[in-house]
Structure 1
Amino acid sequence: MVADQLEISGIVRNEPDGSVYIEAQGKLSELETFIEKIKTSPTPSGKVEKLVITKIPPIDYSSFQITY
């Protein structure tokens, strides 16, 4: 998983409206790479049409997990 390779921690989940919600934390350079990889996903189901980035207070995530 890209997040693991970049040592990004946080969560990802599919929302009822079809969007994907991600909370990610890590070093700034790794976060920038993570965002670029998300934006350029090669799979049709991973196509990014809109990206909204919001800073939130840090949460003590120990890994990157899929939540439901």
Structure 2
Amino acid sequence: MSYMEENLEKYADPEMYDHLHEGYEVDLKTILKWAKQDGPIVELACGTGRLTIPMAQKGFRMIKMDIK
């Protein structure tokens, strides 16, 4: 197994990842504090949308990108 594959292993099961990080919003509060609504926000490595979805619900125009 390559380093890249090994590093991505924790993301192989999106439902488990979401379960393990459920309720974690420390980074979301900081991002919302600094985000501006004057253009779209690109979230790289968005996964299942832990940050993208709540930001879109608050009216931000979001562009999400991930490897799969």
Q: What TM-score, normalized by structure 2, do the two folds share?
A: 0.28
Relative contact order (alpha carbons < 8 A, sep ≥ 6): 1 or 2 greater? 1
Name which one, 1 or 2, has greater alpha-carbon Rg.
2
The structure that is strand-richer by fraction is 1
Q: What TM-score, normalized by structure 1, do the two folds share?
A: 0.28
The structure that is helix-richer by fraction is 2
